[in-house]
Each structure stands twice: as structure tokens, then as C-alpha cells.
Structure 1
């Protein structure tokens, strides 16, 4: 049977640190009221896609977002530490302005001192997605709930983009998602990115 599984990569809702433009990393910050409202708006849309499994980062902002979808669909949420956000080292808790002032060169390269290598982040996120895919049938849909930088790193790796092209994909907004589907020749392609409306149904024949 031809592989037709799809993956939705869904970023968590807003937190106070998001609103304050602070680097969160692996600091466990909860959703604020707006973030919870964002999750409650998005969950019914994603539920209409009839997901087969929901896998989430164990950090509370992602896990809470995922649980809203779990409640909407009746699916249990599986937590996976491999989906955690990139560890930000000395940048965690600092605002964008503070980071740019203190570490202008590192900021330009997006390399936080003492932080996690972005290639390693992409590898662990891809591994977590592969674990999640084992939970869905060959024609199923997996929803992965995580964090902006980590999900982009994982998507980049799944698409085979080299490290120097990692900025090709724009950021994911709070409670927005990307949709990945299979290539005929193997591997993955990006079907939707930074979406906040219902992804369109697509088939392999759309390549023709």
C-alpha cells in the first residue's frame, strides 16, 4: 500500500512570555488566557481532520494545548520529551531586545550561548514524530503539538533542508500549524505552513 500518512505540526497557544517577547526555551511557562482561547478555537478545526493520534511535548504550554484537542476528539494525548523546545542556555527568560543588545553576533546566527545545537533539536523532533507515526495507520493523521523553533527544526530535517537553509521556513504563530504529507518517491513534502484555517484535503494526484 502507498504511504499516505500525514503529520500536522501544531504550535502551542500564547504564554505571557510570548506576549513579552521572551525566549522561553525549556522553561515551563503556562498558557495565558489568550493562549487557551486560541487552543479552543483551533481544536475543533483540527478535529474535523479526524486525527488518529495526538503526541505532545511535555512542557505545560504544549501539553495543555494538546489536551484541548484531546478533549475535542476523545483521543488520549501521548507526551514525548523529544518534542520539547530548544534549550536556550543563557537566553532563557530574556527579551529579544536584551538578547540583541548583549549578544548581537550570536543573535544573528541564532546560537544561544550554552544552548542546544539546532541540528540536534531537529533530529530529536524528527525521532519523536517517527515514534508518533507508529501510532497511526498507513492512511492516518498524526497531530504533533510542540514549539516554534523545535517544530521548524524538525520540519526542516524531514524535508531534507541543509542547515544553511533553515530560515527558508518562516516562523509558526501561536496555535498555527504546518501539514506534511508523503512524496511519491519517498520522504516528505510541505503541504501547508503557518496555517490557522482548516487544511485542504489533498491527494497524491495533486502532484500531476
Structure 2
């Protein structure tokens, strides 16, 4: 998993509440088990019309937001079904951080497992970030995980809370598999001991 330390990137405003995982990645794209290739279908029903043409007014279709790395969203982001394809699609598009007043629990935890930093902030602070994001590509935000701060293009900074174990995993690029492999030596010793003490197993 890619490490997350500090990014300076374009932030896109998505001032919608209750954005569910079907809006993030519709069900017809859930057939794949690969984590790549889903970015083109992120927010598919909002990005494209019935003929597959881009809807110009949707934020991620606008030229200034095509390289978005930070998404500023409304409360209860990622609600609905528990599909892990939702953070896969977000990450594959290039978004590394999502900021919202609140997240659905399963989506929130899935973000960490896929190298995405979800930041929860009070509504009034999200409003400031949303307004800054509306400035377009010239307004780049700085997200510093080590310092636990997000800074607007005007230099206004907000601190955020994060579980320290989840922070460690993001900083080191550790997903569940990598965490298990850190214990490989201990696992090997256990298996060798079991093979000697219970060879019939």
C-alpha cells in the first residue's frame, strides 16, 4: 500500500449529504476483484449521461478538478452498503483524502485499509474548506498526516483527530496483509513448534 505522509493537492467541493456507496461506485461495476480500473466509473451516474457522455457541470468533470487529490464532502459520506469497491474507485481516480463532518463506519475503516485518509471535522470547518475548494486548481490544500493538520490555500489550518494505530499504518503504507507479514518470523516459529509437538496435524 502506498504511504501517506503529506500531500499538497487540488481539493474538489462536493456539498452533498448522505453520499452512499452506490453513488460512489454503482453496483454494475462490482464484478471485478481488482483494485484498479474503477476510477473512470467513480460517481458514474453523476458524471455521465445515459449515452456515456460527460456531464459538464459535475465537479470532477470540470477541467480545474480533473487532478483532484482531496475531496471535501457533506455529512454521512460513504453510507449504504459496505462495498470496498467504493474506496478502490476513489483511490484509483487519484483522491488520497476525503474530508467530511461524518462518515459511515465501514466506509471510514475501509479507507484506511486502502491508503485513503478520511478526515472528520466540525461542519463550520468543513464549510471553510468547501469555500476554499471552490476556488479551483489554483487553491491547493496541504494535508499533513504527521502533524494532523489540513491547511487551506490562504494558510488557515485545522487540526484533526485520528486513531494512532491507523495513522501509523498510513504513514508506513501497511495494509492488513503487510501487518501480518510483519509477524512472519513469529508465525514461522509457531508453525515449526506445532509441527514438532503435533506432527499428526
- Whether TM-score is above 0.5 comes out as no
TM score, norm. by length of structure 1: 0.29
TM score, norm. by length of structure 2: 0.29
Q: Greater relative contact order (Cα 8 A, min sep 6): structure 1 or 2?
A: 1
Larger Rg: 2
